[in-house]
Chains A and B, each alone.
Chain A
Amino acid sequence: MKNITTSLLIFTLISFGVLTLKANDDKYITAMKRIINTVYTSETDEAYQEAIDKLERVAAAKEGKWEPYYYATFAHIMRATRYADGKETKDLQLDKAQEHLKKALKLNPKESELHALEGFIHMIRLSADPGTRGRQYSGMSFKALNKAIAMNPDNPRALYLMAQMQMGTAKFMGEDLSSSCATLEKSLEKFEEEKVGLSTAAPLMPRWGHSQATGMKEQCR
């Protein structure tokens, strides 16, 4: 009897534990979904900061997850591009972005999306001062984006950012845009595939970039 009692007790505790974990994970996904939505729809610098605060809370509560750091990185990049005026303020946001990205990469070094964001950060640094940063950051950005594409050739965001880098370079050099437009075309294809393929299986995976890529198409006409 004692054995049965013990077994039952253990069983109950384990199932309770599993259920709690499951519930915890559901709770994580629900919370993250909500925050990701606010990141995508933020319209002010403060809204981004609020989202970042929430992401930091989740990251602290749920250790070992890379997604909160990914979106915090993304939110900081958005703040740098949309609300920062001048090189120094941009750098301030990008430094924070890089801090978050570093944590995410430590948790998931093989994630293509993270390397794409790294390329994005270098690209924005470059754009803050192309004259002096051109060489260093274009090299770093291309390297990170190449890595992202090598890890996942179907990553539409990595392709879209690559198209941006290629187009910027070609424009600067006065060359034709055919290769950058080809990359953009490919990224748009992958965005379409992603739309179809995006299932509930990966609810927290990034899905931004389609509209920006579509907007960029203008320049290929």
Chain B
Amino acid sequence: MRWVLTMLPFILPALLATAQSTFQGQVIDKSGEPIVGANVYLKGTYEGTSCDDRGYFSLTTEESGAQVLHISFTGYRTYEKEVVLDLERRKILLGIIYLQETINKLEAVTITAGRLDASGKHRSEVLNPLDIVTTAGATADIAGALNTLPGTQTVGEEGRLFVRGGSGEETKTFIDGMLVGNAYNSTVPNVPGRGRFSPFMFKGTSFSTGGYGAEYGQALSSALILDTKDKAIANRTDISLMSVGADISRTQQGERTSLAAKLQYTNLSPYFKAVQQNLDWRKAPRSIEGNAAFRQQVGEMGLWKVYGQFNHNSMTLEQKDIDRPTLIRPLQLENGYIYLNSTLKNSINENASYRTGISYTRDRNVMDIDGTETEQLAQFYHTKITFDHDLAEAVGLRWGVELLGRDHASRQGMETLNFEELIWAGHGTATWYLNNDLLLSAGLRITHNTLLRETQATPRISAAYKTGEDSQISLAYGQFKQAPESDLLHRQKVLQSPVATHYILSYQKNIKDRVLRVETYHKTYGDLVRFSSKEASGPLDNSGTGYARGVELFWRDNRSIERLDYWVSYSFLDTRREHLDFPELAIPTFASAHNASLVLKYFFNAWRTSIGTSFSYASPRRYHIQEQAGFHQGKTKSYQDLSLNISYLLNSQVILHTSINNVLGRQNVFGYEYGQERNAEGRLNRRAIGPAAPRFFFIGAFITLSKNKTLNQLPNL
């Protein structure tokens, strides 16, 4: 034992004695390209080097014993090799070392087919979240802003999103993944409704014009997926004074929680008195609305969100009889709406996460048409859980289950109709990155509808391939089912869900704040609900069919001219369908063959003013001429609208905003309504359906009170 003691001071340093070893090698990737700048070092030491421009390295070290040689570079899998260094000086030749590429989901190819992103997250986005609220003509309405994008059709009397030959009902809205029932304000016929949700609530929007993933269902044409903001970061009070009403909101935040609440009152009667309207209002639309959002951080990564909103609105329109204009038929509407949504997302471990939630919508409409009262109560329930797994570096799996409920009751006089529908759904999607340039995704959605007693499986497949550093093509195919509308189910419960099949081919190029996008699609409809007798009565069946196809272009540039941001979009649509009482395959009245938009935004730094303008065009729409042979044989004139908005930053707390829609006052016509009697010329009396007013003016002052002076609402406008 003693020898150990004596020798110890000598042995130990000897183990660490100076001996130089030199490593040499070349680092390349699988295509033979040298990896310039790869970091080469012995693990646990500070000694290292970087590869030169041919990928060569030479590393000299004084370390000895068992060591681990480490080679790493961003975007590549780390290479490690055990080496034993003895006491002699030596040269170690390592030859060629291959580094394998890793999948970088931010840089890698993404599926853009049918998908218009405004999330601020992806490179492939076409809008940024603020565009939704700064687009002239949109008056801070989500659907209004999205209507300037390719794939949408202008339908002026509706205010909803009509996508690629689909009706307004074929687009479903989801907030944080949860379904929203009746996402647009209730309104009387031919007066457009606004979206119920303020765009300021959301941090991101993903607007799918087709081919969306298996997680979403019950929408034949389109899914609008909105992500609410996360935890607020500052205490603030916001007050808005507008020509149409006022609102006040308060945001309070803590270390891990935040709570925001807002109360809004809108009344259009002072405005309608001041500005000439096309319609006669006995009681101008008015509404009271409140909402509250609670956020709680859960653990390190999780977030729990609760949102609730209520709205009550009412209006009475004095509608003139088409045949006898002196006869007034009052149309009264009262609507109460409640939406509740609670979601939780969290990670399970490094490679898995989940999202779960529950939502409830209650929408009650009481409409009185010339003394006849109808009441409709719609309730929607949605609960779901979705899991995301990284099975391997390049393989992901998303799966989940959900339950969708719809209760609908309708009363007219003494007659009541109702139904309850429950849909169970399960979905799974596998995504595989073959490399950074090629992505394949395949999914399946299985649903069981307890009311219709049908079980279905619908596939979704998509692929994307990077054709260059900034460009990619993608393909999407999918089948989409949607249960029939409530009014049809009240007539008859023995029906099937109509189906749409989408084929989409898309090309997108993103180059330094410029986006070019070209997309073409083909969509077929099957099992559309139809009156068996081809007249608007009698039994229904699922013998309807239809198709839609088109080409769309989008170009955006906010680089070429400083402070100018603009985009142009064009959509060509060819669609026909045979459904409801259509006697033949015909162009629906909501479809227009050509839609185009130009949106410009310019910021004058010196004046702290932003000016926006947009021009929209839609080619003539079809309408049915009662007295002529044929179907949907009439053509309206084209739709044109020029809108303008101006925001002025008065100081750090006050913004003034004004906007004018339809500056030129063009009398747009959306279609015609017919009476029963003939006029002096022997033709049936008719009335054009047009906008509620020649122009719409808006003036508002937005005030932010906060300790932090820069939190004003400017970017909101």
Per-position contact with B for A18-54: 1 when CB-CB < 8 Å, else 0? 0000000001100100000000000000100110011
* Binding-face segment, B38-46, B291-299, B628-636: B38-46
A169 and B5 contact, Cβ closer than 8 Å, known pairs A50-B50, A140-B233 = no
Q: How far is the CB of A104 from chain B (nearest CB, A)?
A: 16
Residues in A with CB closer than 8 Å to B710 are 134-135, 138-139, 142, 165, 169
Q: How far is the CB of A14 from chain B (nearest CB, A)?
A: 12
> B714: CB under 8 A from chain A?
yes
Residues in B with CB closer than 8 Å to A199 are none
A131 touches B608 (CB 8 A): no
A57 touches B651 (CB 8 A): no
B233 touches A139 (CB 8 A): yes
> A218: CB under 8 A from chain B?
no
Q: Chain A: interface residue count, which band?
A: 35 or more
Residues in B with CB closer than 8 Å to A5 are 1-2, 5
> A207: CB under 8 A from chain B?
no
> A143: CB under 8 A from chain B?
yes
A175 and B1 contact, Cβ closer than 8 Å, known pairs A56-B39, A86-B512 = no
How far is it, in angstroms, between the C-alpha of A175 and the C-alpha of B47 when the chains are bound?
52
Residues in A with CB closer than 8 Å to B43 are 60-61
A27 touches B233 (CB 8 A): no
**Would you list which residues of chain B between 677 and 717 have a CB under 8 Å from chain A?**
708-712, 714-716
Residues in A with CB closer than 8 Å to B649 are 173
How far is it, in angstroms, between the C-alpha of A96 and the C-alpha of B2 when the chains are bound?
55
Q: Smallest CB-CB separation from A144: which chain B residue?
A: B233
Q: Smallest CB-CB separation from B46: which chain A residue?
A: A31
Q: Smallest CB-CB separation from B607: which chain A residue?
A: A174
B234 touches A139 (CB 8 A): yes
Residues in A with CB closer than 8 Å to B130 are 132
Q: Is the interface of B mostly helix, strand, loop or mixed?
A: loop
A134 and B714 contact, Cβ closer than 8 Å, known pairs A8-B5, A87-B513, A143-B233 = yes
Option from A9, A50, A95, A132 in Cβ contact (under 8 Å) with B715: A132
Residues in B with CB closer than 8 Å to A57 are 39, 41, 45-48
Residues in A with CB closer than 8 Å to B72 are 56
> A178: CB under 8 A from chain B?
no
Residues in B with CB closer than 8 Å to A61 are 43-46
Residues in B with CB closer than 8 Å to A9 are 4-5, 8
Q: Smallest CB-CB separation from A13: which chain B residue?
A: B8
> A58: CB under 8 A from chain B?
yes
Q: How far is the CB of B107 from chain A (nearest CB, A)?
A: 9
B48 touches A88 (CB 8 A): no
B48 touches A53 (CB 8 A): yes
> B459: CB under 8 A from chain A?
no
**Would you list which residues of chain B between 128 and 167 have a CB under 8 Å from chain A?**
128-131
> B532: CB under 8 A from chain A?
no
A175 touches B651 (CB 8 A): yes
Q: How far is the CB of B565 from chain A (nearest CB, A)?
A: 8
A135 touches B711 (CB 8 A): yes
> A221: CB under 8 A from chain B?
no
Residues in A with CB closer than 8 Å to B608 are 172-174
Option from A54, A131, A173 in Cβ contact (under 8 Å) with B603: A131
How far is it, in angstroms, between the C-alpha of A96 and the C-alpha of B608 when the chains are bound?
34
Option from A46, A53, A135, A143 in Cβ contact (under 8 Å) with B39: A53
Q: Which residues of A are at the interface with B, using a C-beta cutoff of 8 A? A: 2, 5, 8-9, 12, 16, 27-28, 31, 46, 49-50, 53-54, 56-58, 60-61, 86-88, 95-96, 131-132, 134-136, 138-140, 142-143, 165, 169, 172-175
| 22 A–B contacts, CB within 8 A, in A order | A5-B1, A5-B5, A9-B5, A12-B5, A50-B50, A53-B37, A53-B48, A56-B72, A58-B46, A60-B43, A61-B43, A61-B45, A88-B513, A131-B715, A132-B129, A132-B715, A136-B715, A139-B234, A165-B710, A169-B710, A172-B608, A175-B651
Nearest 7 CB-CB pairings of A with B: A135-B715, A53-B39, A138-B710, A31-B46, A57-B41, A173-B652, A57-B48
